[in-house]
Amino acid sequence: MIDPEALVTAYAELYLQLMRTADRMMADQGASLARTKLLLCLQKRGPLRGTDIAEFFSQSPRTVTEAIDGLERDGLVERTPDPNDRRAKLIRITEKGIEAAARTEPLRHQLVDRTFGTLDDAERTALAAILEKLARGLAVD
């Protein structure tokens, strides 16, 4: 029987290897995984407040503000007033940001295919079921 701690270690090592590989592939193209993840988040979810982004990524607000500052400097996002809270700003992806994310998206797809493409349909189905079951075990009632 495999020790659950060994499974946790293997899972964590796979995740770290996946992230390092993604970072390396994107760096070769002049991008970064962190910036791309933030751009994709804004593209998929629409404009968000910085605090919402920080919570989504489990990052400190200061870290997210610095990332947003860099993206804004590069013209990839813009800050706009929040119509529901005049003290807050919404972070919105720009056309240039959408284009930047689109350039790196093929790299992400390549990595996903390279990683999960090694599994056949039955293995993918089993993995999806296992991951769902693990997530349910962590769910807070």
The boundaries of the domain holding residue 29 are 17-138
Instruction: Tell me the angle at which helices 33-45 and 50-57 cross, rounded to the nearest 10 degrees.
Output: 120
Domain assignment present for residue 9? The answer is no
Structural domains in the chain (count): 1
Per-residue pLDDT at 141: 62
Is this model's pTM higher than 0.85 or not?
A: no
Domain assignment present for residue 81? The answer is yes
Domain assignment present for residue 83? The answer is yes
Domain assignment present for residue 125? The answer is yes
* CATH code of the domain covering residue 49: 1.10.10.10
Across the range 9-38, mean pLDDT stands at: 87
What is the total residue count of the chain? 141
Instruction: Give CA–CA dist 69/54, Å, rounded.
Output: 14
pLDDT in tens, 74-104: 999 999 999 988 899 999 999 999 988 888 8
Domain assignment present for residue 11? The answer is no
Instruction: Give CA–CA dist 18/25, Å, rounded.
Output: 11
